Chains A and B, each alone.
Chain A
């Protein structure tokens, strides 16, 4: 069953917490991964790999750089999830 927007944000929050140690409540739609959440380019690759597995989506390298905020990633997953 496809995940809802709320479930995706909650899932991303857990992933970001696991990888970058950011409190889950800080992970909000308008937050930028690099500027607000301390997720650098390599941590972002790890976030993407974890999100692919969790939400059954494929996020190719060339799309990763467009995912600036948690909202961008959530929209992408909503649109592409299997």
Chain B
């Protein structure tokens, strides 16, 4: 048997830079109220959301990703040519072939970096980060760009009062690279496919192929509704506050970090009430900075954690070298949590 030379990776991996892109258009709750029977007070008290950003036709998934990535690459202090792989997590890029990651890798000026998309809903950032860490330690890339990007406004039924106010658009990116010290803890992740129906697309795309649209839901103007994200809100809320607090605790334990050692908590920005409940259950001390970016960003799925991370660092609420617990959870149901050192 011939001997195969193994690849040689870095001892550990770390996040070296972060960048975000928020679409120019800010959408206040008043705009949401044009289509649903609700109130600004209800939306704020049940979700924490005051405004969200919606992308224009020019602010495509690729365009937003390139903007966010450019900032992350500059923040990391590397050259785009050094990036060995680009991982994009999205559920709202409407052309499956080719993967949008290849266009982004090209537009950024990478040197033919490996590029692919993943689908892991609101856990996408943690899934991508885990892949990146593996590639760096195993040696197939020195630097990996991980992007979470969504145009969820395209997948929102604005006439559905249970979801119309929740979602937003944006892109967040991090550069992950080699480290001499551990700076990304063990990932606690998983899936619960038995709960797949609790967050899903209303209609699958292939229904539009058969030509028989007769039983599809219509909007108030009588047009067939575009597929949208629908959910069993209370079931998801219960799962998030009960099960995800446990997963977050497991990630702390796996990294050997106590709540007292923690500086920052960056959960997926799904609902401020989920965030507040987790903070209570985890008994996070007062000194821990908690991301509540949802207020002005809404739920941007895979983009929410890097967007919140960038904002906390930009405002000075968090600083480079801080220890942060990150946890993503959503459609699947899927989840991923880990402890990281902030760039």
Contacts and interface: CB of A to CB of B under 8 A. Distances in A.
Interface of A: 40-42, 45-46, 48-49, 61, 64
A41 B45 contact: no
B234 interface: yes
A46 B277 contact: yes
Contacts of B273: 42
Given A61-B234, A64-B234, A42 B46 contact: yes
B237 interface: yes
A45 B237 CA distance: 8
Contacts of B242: 49
A40 B45 CA distance: 10
B45 A49 contact: no
Interface string B226-263: 00000010110110011000000000000000000000
Contacts of B234: 41-42, 45, 61, 64
A33 B273 CA distance: 18
B45 A45 contact: no
Contact of A42 (B232, B235, B237): B237
A61 B235 contact: yes
Contacts of A48: 238
Contacts of A42: 46, 234, 237, 271, 273
A13 B273 CA distance: 21
Interface residues of B, number: 12
A51 to B, nearest CB: 12
Contacts of B46: 40-42
B81 to A, nearest CB: 48
Nearest to A44: B234
Given A41-B46, A61-B235, 5 more contacts: A41-B234, A45-B234, A46-B277, A61-B232, A61-B238
A46 to B, nearest CB: 6
A40 B241 CA distance: 15
A77 B46 CA distance: 27
Contacts of B241: 45-46, 49
A48 B45 CA distance: 19
Nearest to A48: B238
Give the residue among B232, B237, B238, B271 with the most A Cβ atoms within 10 A.
Answer: B238
Interface string B186-228: 0000000000000000000000000000000000000000000
B73 to A, nearest CB: 40
23 contacts: A40-B45, A40-B46, A41-B234, A42-B46, A42-B234, A42-B237, A42-B271, A42-B273, A45-B234, A45-B237, A45-B238, A45-B241, A46-B241, A46-B277, A48-B238, A49-B238, A49-B241, A49-B242, A61-B232, A61-B234, A61-B235, A61-B238, A64-B234
Contacts of B232: 61
Nearest to A64: B234
Nearest to B271: A42
B270 to A, nearest CB: 12
B194 to A, nearest CB: 15
A39 B242 CA distance: 18
Contacts of A46: 241, 277
A21 B277 CA distance: 13
Give the residue among A41, A42, A49 with the most B Cβ atoms within 10 A.
Answer: A42
B322 to A, nearest CB: 29
B45 to A, nearest CB: 7
A24 to B, nearest CB: 18
A63 to B, nearest CB: 12
A49 B45 CA distance: 20
A61 B46 CA distance: 18
Nearest to B274: A42
Contacts of A61: 232, 234-235, 238
Contacts of A45: 234, 237-238, 241
A5 B271 CA distance: 34
A27 to B, nearest CB: 19
